[in-house]
Amino acid sequence: MVHLYRIIVVDPGKQPLFLLLVGLMLAFLTVRINTRLIRAGARFKLPHFKQGDVHVHHVIFGIVAMVAAGVFSFATQPVAPWRDIFAFSFGAGTALVLDEFALVLHVEDVYWAERGRKSIDAVILVFAFGALLLLGSAPLGLSDKGLAGISVGPLWVLSALILANFILVGITLVKGKIWQGMAGIFIPLVAWVGALRLARPDSPWARRYAPGAPKMREAQARAAVWSERKRRLWDLVGGAPTRHAGQRH
């Protein structure tokens, strides 16, 4: 295990990125467990800062951690162990900010509302993006040998493949498939598949489907299955939303 860690993380110089992801995930899990304990009225929980109508959300502490780690990193160009400490701190701060991404987006305390699930989406998306970088993936599959590590010959061929993948990533995103679109930036085949499959019924692309048409019905059926699976997973990770959008944590 140690040997594998050295090959994947240490030797390529990716330990700061690894620690950033560790800090992000640990802080996210910690704060989610704590907010669920607060919501349940448990006795054993981390303190939260609330006085009357003033509630200092943990996004504030996340911003402070990100700013401090970023400024010190740029100002001092640190080496180990400070470089790793700053990376971990930046990741933890990022988790605190993204965990309340929905609050910042809606400028409203929707933490336990259905709209608050955008925060979980943001955390998982950023973690997945960082994990792909950690594992050696390059945007659009590019490497020093070309697309997906395979020599593709003349520069114009490579440029055409990059442009085609860029267009397909855009189509996938317009079809409402955010996860596939982001993955397609690193793995071109994912974007190609996403661009060819049906759009989500609430996406801009779905406006091309006539109401009640077979394509729309199939898109709605697929979306219902995916939404239910995602709901169960997100309930497990972040807690089930409440019907009262204004409930504070």
| Single-letter code of the amino acid located at 207 | R
Has residue 121 got a pLDDT over 80?
Answer: yes
Contacts of 205 (CB under 8 A, 6+ apart): 171, 174, 175, 176, 199
Work out the pLDDT band at 211, boundaries 50, 70, 90. confident
Lowest mean pLDDT among 10-19, 40-49, 190-199: 40-49
pLDDT at residue 40, as a whole number: 82
Q: What are phi and psi of 50, to 5 degrees?
A: -145, 125
Do the Cβ atoms of 205 and 177 come closer than 8 Å?
A: no
Mean pLDDT estimate for the chain: 84
**Structure token digits, residue 73:** 């990193």
Q: Is the pLDDT of residue 38 over 50?
A: yes
Question: CA 113, CA 100: separation in Å to the nearest integer?
Answer: 12
Q: Which of the residue ranges 66-80, 136-150, 191-205, 218-232 would you say has the lowest mean pLDDT? A: 136-150
Tokens of 155: 């520069």
One-letter-per-residue 3-state SS of the chain: CHHHHHHHHHCCCCHHHHHHHHHHHHHHHHHHHHHHHHHHCCCCCCCCEEECCEEECHHHHHHHHHHHHHHHHHHHCCCCCHHHHHHHHHHHHHHHHHCCHHHHHHCCCCCCCHHHHHHHHHHHHHHHHHHHHHCCCCHHHEECCEECCECCCCHHHHHHHHHHHHHHHHHHHHCCCHHHHHHHHHCHHHHHHHHHCCCCCCCHHHHHCCCCCHHHHHHHHHHHHHHHHHHHHHHHHHCCCCCCCCCCC
Mean pLDDT value of segment 71-100: 93
Q: How far is CA 60 from CA 74, 97, 179, 192, in A?
A: 21, 7, 28, 40
Model pLDDT, residue 245:
45
Q: By the 8 A CB rule, do 21 and 131 touch?
A: yes
How many other C-beta atoms lie within 10 A of the C-beta of residue 69?
22
Q: What is the pLDDT of residue 144?
A: 47
Residue 84 tokens, joined: 């790793």
pLDDT at residue 61 greater than cutoff 80: yes
